[in-house]
Amino acid sequence: MRQIELHPEDYLPAAPPQEIVQRYGIAIVGCGNIARNTHLPAYSKFGYRIVAACDVIEEKARTVAEEYDIPLWTTNLEAVIDRRDVDIVDLAVRPEHRLAAVEQLAPAGKHILSQKPLAPTLAEAERIVEICQEAGITLMINQQARWASYHTAMKVLIDRGLFGHLYSVLHVHRQYQDGTDSAWRTTPDFTIIDNGIHYVDLSRYFTGRTPRRVKTTTTRVPGQNAIDPMIYTILCEYEPADLMSTLHFNNIAPALHHSPYLWHIDGTDASASIARYGSLRDGRTELTISFKEDLDQRQVFHIQGGWFPDAWGGTMGEMQRALAAGVEPQASGRDNLNSIRITDAAVESSKTGQTVEIPPA
């Protein structure tokens, strides 16, 4: 049996060297749920330098500043802009508040790491990318799932060329986000454009390709709380047509842990699967690979680490490495428009029942 070497240092996210980490002061703008519970625990663990916390709600800014010993808290974005020690703004407001913030931050020369999805519409996302390009600042999108250990581990194997020609990607995910008190309930097409963009983006990360067209099916579940469907299957077609991907996400499944969170990646030489058992936060992960030359054998890796919160340390590390090297980061704003084009087309397809072309970049 062919034996593959795969070690935690090959896939666990790590902070850049200290001389880079110390170079960049970070301001958190939007100190809500995700910033407080995930960004800040990860940044603290990775040793990043947080110099300011800003939220329009004073208590939120003050609370995280006290919890994480951040020297400045403010309710005023101008105060962040005025600070010369702020190099990177971690923009964790909701999508509808991003354009106004970017219009202030980019001309002031602040680099931006924005939470996903970048904007409520493709047109607004394109406008944000344009503003950042004109200002000459770096815009990266926090598609942190790329730095979740089990996704990175799969990508490491793909990049080693073990699969031959990669021709199929299948994702199956079950979650439950249909609570009555959830803000997601009233977010239009939440499951595709807000949560689903993770899996759409991961399909691009694994394959290195953007589909040419998509066909999406959804259904409304009787008694659901959300304003839009909470389940989708997206079929992606590529050109040339030597690859297909199928993305299935049931976000209203009462059967949460009956089956693992799954990715199956198939190539002409090898197949591999990610199976995450339990929750995305606290589960355990097996990555299994088999080769065509020896179909009866498989090699199983027990992948260390996970998604929450360490992957956020990975995105910020990528941003800082890219700034230090003067290159475009992975998941840049420009690159991310391709993921948004897919979710946008998937929503249109789900509403019209038609196959929808992805507009070219």
Instruction: Dig out the tokens for 277 from the structure.
Output: 């058992």
How many residues in the shown chain lie near ligand NAD by CB under 6 A? 24
Is position 32 an interface residue for ligand NAD (rule: CB under 6 A)? yes
Contact in structure between 28 and 50 (CB atoms under 8 Å): yes
Which C-beta is closer to ligand NAD: that of 182 or that of 259? 182
Residue 256 contacts ligand NAD per CB under 6 A: no
3-state SS, residue 112:
strand
Residues 102-121 close enough to bind ligand NAD by CB under 6 A? 115-116
Specify the long-range contacts of residues 261-265, CB closer than 8 Å, at least 24 apart: 261/172, 261/173, 261/174, 262/170, 262/171, 262/172, 262/173, 263/151, 263/154, 263/169, 263/170, 263/171, 263/202, 263/206, 264/168, 264/169, 264/170, 265/154, 265/158, 265/163, 265/166, 265/168, 265/169, 265/206
343 binds ligand NAD (CB under 6 A): no
In the list 1, 14, 57, 256, the residue contacting ligand NAD (rule: CB under 6 A) is: 57
Closest separation between CB of residue 182 and ligand NAD, Å? 10
Question: Could you say which of 13, 21, 28, 30 contacts ligand NAD (CB under 6 A)?
Answer: 30
The total of other beta-carbon atoms located within 10 Å of residue 170's CB is 16
Nearest residue (CB) to ligand NAD, 34 versus 262: 34
Identified binder of ligand NAD from the candidate list 17, 22, 33, 71, rule CB under 6 A: 33
CB atoms within 10 A of CB 29: 27
Cis peptide before 329 (omega within 30 of 0): no
> Rounded to whole angstroms, how far apart are CA atoms 169 and 102?
35
- Contacting ligand NAD (CB under 6 A), which of 21, 27, 29, 247? 29
Which of 77, 140, 157, 265 is the binder for ligand NAD (CB under 6 A)? 77
Nearest residue to ligand NAD, using CB? 32
Query: Residue 289's beta-bridge partner residues?
Result: 272, 299
Torsion angle, CA of 262/266/271/275, rounded to 10 degrees? 0
Residues in 179-208 that interact with ligand NAD by CB under 6 A: 194
Q: Which stretch binds ligand NAD (CB under 6 A): 29-37, 265-273, 295-303, 320-328?
A: 29-37
Q: Does 60 bind ligand NAD (CB under 6 A)?
A: yes
Give the distance, in angstroms, between the CA of residue 108 and the centroid of all CA atoms in the same chain: 26
Nearer residue to ligand NAD within complex by CB, 12 or 99: 99
**Residue with smaller CB distance to ligand NAD, 60 or 111:** 60
Interacting positions 117-146 with ligand NAD (CB under 6 A): 142, 144
Binder among 51, 54, 172, 214 for ligand NAD (CB under 6 A) = 54
Which residue carries 């990175």 as its tokens?
A: 152
Which residues from 233-252 bind ligand NAD, rule CB under 6 A? none
Kindly write out the interface string for residues 140-179 of this chain, putting x where it contacts ligand NAD by CB under 6 A and - elsewhere.
--x-x-----------------------------------
Stretch that binds ligand NAD, among 32-40, 132-140, 243-251, 296-304 (CB under 6 A): 32-40
Beta bridge partners of 247: 171, 234
The verdict on 287 binding ligand NAD (CB under 6 A) reads: no
d(CA 94, CA 120): 9
Locus of tokens 């297909």: 244
Report the residue number, 92 or 345, with the smaller CB distance to ligand NAD: 92
Q: Please, are residues 319 and 39 in contact by the beta-carbon 8 Å criterion? A: no
- Kindly tell me the burial class for residue 31, based on how many C-beta atoms sit within 10 Å of its own C-beta (0-12, 13-18, 19 or more): buried
Torsion angle defined by CA atoms of residues 31, 33, 34 and 36, in that order, rounded to the nearest 10 degrees? 50
The only residue of 94, 212, 321, 351 in contact with ligand NAD, by rule CB under 6 A: 94
Nearer to ligand NAD, 93 or 275 (CB): 93
CA distance 136 to 99: 16
Q: Which residues bind ligand NAD (CB under 6 A)?
A: 29-35, 54-57, 60, 77, 92-95, 97, 101, 115-116, 142, 144, 194
